[in-house]
Structure 1
């Protein structure tokens, strides 16, 4: 099954930005580890937060969903232990990595597994670091990959070492488990730390929960003392990765747009999308009293030559590629090597797919490693392309945005996977009269290139 998406001539309206997936996941996890009752308001309900809830229930947390908030009764570190625990992480790297680390302190063996995509992702640095801290872990099928069995029993503590340019989730996983170690845990990070904002989110969550954690100024040394999580009430803010798709579409069309559910203060690195748009000539204004962001796109925006360092905002790299396709000039993105280890190799995916549509985009290498891309944009493209999402929902959503300004409809795979992080994706784009239809069969083709015409398919989210 593929999705046919018609191009649009304008993008205006009022749009709702969803709550943050990483903030929701971290809040659920910290509440699970605490003693007592916590409340999480404005939590995101999507497949990957559901995966975290299911994993935390397997540890013994009681999680009750209400309209607009969660009530969680935590374990206080007294985890459920029936001797046959299997935690399914599906495609969530954060769930797999944090649960693998926490399983080290359970008294009985725990199997932690995931879907086919997750089982191909790099896990060996985390497994090696946990072994350095006294954990007893084995890969079940292929060394260094999921699934694993953690034989449990203890996390002794001490010093472990991790690379800084593969995944910040390795550091996050050990930070969440470290308070349960028998003695202090120190993490030493080799090289430049990528995705630092995600580690900052973890540190903020831990400190709010009463965990004694210190970090060096360069974020390359961490120390966690044995300590207890305390229950708390948490309000989740907006998700800037999800917002980036709506904001990118707003930048592609002249006029005013309003985004609600935006507090304007965030530790998320992907909040860089707002100043990036301003560099591209788009005007933005926060109203923190009303929790709104207004975006005004002048007709002469998106012109010039731009360089963006994506070291701390890797999840918007595919969005930047979609934007760059329409820059009147060049857009160069660097510092994105960590995206090679995401669900798909995201630079390779966006370069390959956008090239199908005639976009002049090329990968950039630093010391033999693909570190970014450079794109020379233009005002539009013929369209009529069948895009692959490479098994990554963020590739789909970025290509969806890129296709809106093309001459003709395109076909896309993977549209069902918006449920992983942005279930209301199609509903929000429907507010701008984006039109889609699901198509099936080998003869389903996008419209041939030609003049843009009035859409004829059902609205997004329609029957």
Structure 2
């Protein structure tokens, strides 16, 4: 499904309820599978969370998680703990190109039998679940934080808990802290000192309702819209000022692009500073790589340049996001260069119109480019890919007055 996006006004006003965080939901779904007396509310309605839920509730031997990277990583650890059960975890052709060796080797350190069905280092993987008594794992620190979170989530159910030693510089620390905070909410004891994370064992937890905060990565597209609009007042629910999600860094980042954020009763209100003149941006996004696409597209729309670093994990996402950004932004007339972990965009006031943006099976490519419709008509290819994290996105764009055909 290709969509043409355009608008005949640049004054945005709406109240929008954003679905629960995919990151929080998938962590809590796994914890609920380990501790069935937890109940969850405001869970994400994303494809990734539905895939995760189905896999945890089903009893198939072959489990296909499609494009869901979080599910691949979290379920690898979960099924390692399921004594007497053997499963094969597989996914889309792109998923079978995304490395998982670091996590497989970490799980093997716990004594679990885990093997590759096809190519060494990549899904599909076969896992023989067992009772785990080992409690120490060493792994590289500069890997996807989802590998680390996968182990931390199963840790309290291991007989002796877990001590995780991370070697090197740790990336995406907020996501690790989110995982530990959710464990702490269940009175599971943890510590994170230097490069050592410890989780103490806890076989049972008290019954509790866990409310999922709305997704900050999804909020990023509204920050972008407000920055690019002439006038804007958009309210989003349900958000906390002291969020567990790393992408809440959006508040400070977009302040540099004229967006004012206010919190009241879990409502986040975004408004536009009148006559704001933004400067070129220089950002280190090691902790928040998922919002890089949104930021660079906003900068293009504002006619400013940016230099973004800390992006090495973008190479192994749904697509090679750095290369995808380079190709699509160039079509729009941007002067952009990328390296293995950085992106440089030159300031320019020219944007080509009616360009067709390829999405590469990547939900964030579709949504990051959509706000540019405030500046020029734009066509988004395979627009239904947004269902991976934000199925209601196009309906919410219509609420803001965008014409979608």
TM-score, normalised by the number of residues in structure 1: 0.82
Deviation digits for residues 207-244 of structure 1 (CA, Å, limit 9, x no counterpart) = 2223232211x4x2112233224242111112110010
Assess, with a 3 A threshold, how the Cα gap between structure 1 residues 105 and 283 changes in structure 2: closer, same or farther: closer
Structure 2 spans left out of the alignment, 5+ residues: none
Match of 2:228 in 1: 252
SS of residue paired to 1:222:
strand
Displacement of 1:391 in angstroms is 1.9
In 1, the alpha carbon distance for the partners of 2:233 and 2:342 equals: 30
- Root-mean-square deviation (Å): 1.9
Q: CA deviation at 1:328?
A: 4.1
Q: Confirm or deny that 1:319 pairs with 2:287.
A: no
Structure 1 residue 173: deviation in Å? 0.8
The answer on 1:210 being equivalent to 2:187 is yes
Q: Residue 377 of structure 1 corresponds to which residue in structure 2?
A: 347
> Aligned partners of 1:265, 1:225: CA distance in 2, in Å?
26
- Aligned positions of 1:221-260 closer than 5 A: 221-230=196-205, 231-260=207-236
Kindly indicate whether the alpha-carbon contact (under 8 Å) linking 1:113 and 1:146 is maintained by their aligned counterparts in 2: yes
Instruction: State the alpha-carbon separation in 2 of the partners of residues 378 and 361 from structure 1.
Output: 11
2:373 and 2:300 mapped to 1: Cα distance? 10
Contact 2:29–2:53 (CA under 8 A) maintained in structure 1: yes
Displacement of 1:11 in angstroms is: 4.0
Give the structure 1 partner of residue 256 of structure 2. Answer: 279
Q: 1:359 maps to what in 2?
A: 334
Matched, 1:431 2:399: yes
- Tell me, yes or no, if the aligned pair for 2:63 and 2:89 is still in contact at 8 Å: yes
Match of 2:240 in 1: 263
Q: TM-score, normalised by structure 2?
A: 0.93
Cα 1:256–1:189 shift into 2, 3 Å: same
Inter-CA distance 157–403: structure 2 relative to 1 (3 Å threshold): farther
What does residue range 180-199 of structure 1 map to in structure 2 within 5 Å?
180-199=157-176
Tell me which residue corresponds to 1:149. 126
Query: What is the match of residue 78 of structure 2?
Result: 102
Match of 1:451 in 2: none
SS in 2 for 1:55: helix
Q: 1:131 aligns with which of 103, 108, 111?
A: 108
Please list the CA deviations of residues 388-424 of structure 1 after superposition, one character each: whole Å capped at 9, or x if unmatched.
1122110111122234312xx3322221111111111
1:31 and 1:183 map into 2 onto residues whose CA distance is: 20
Q: 1:160 to 1:332 in 2, by over 3 A?
A: same
Residue 60 of structure 2 corresponds to residue 89 of structure 1: no
Q: Secondary structure at the match of 1:304?
A: coil
> In terms of Rg, which structure is larger?
1
Q: CA deviation at 1:200?
A: 1.2
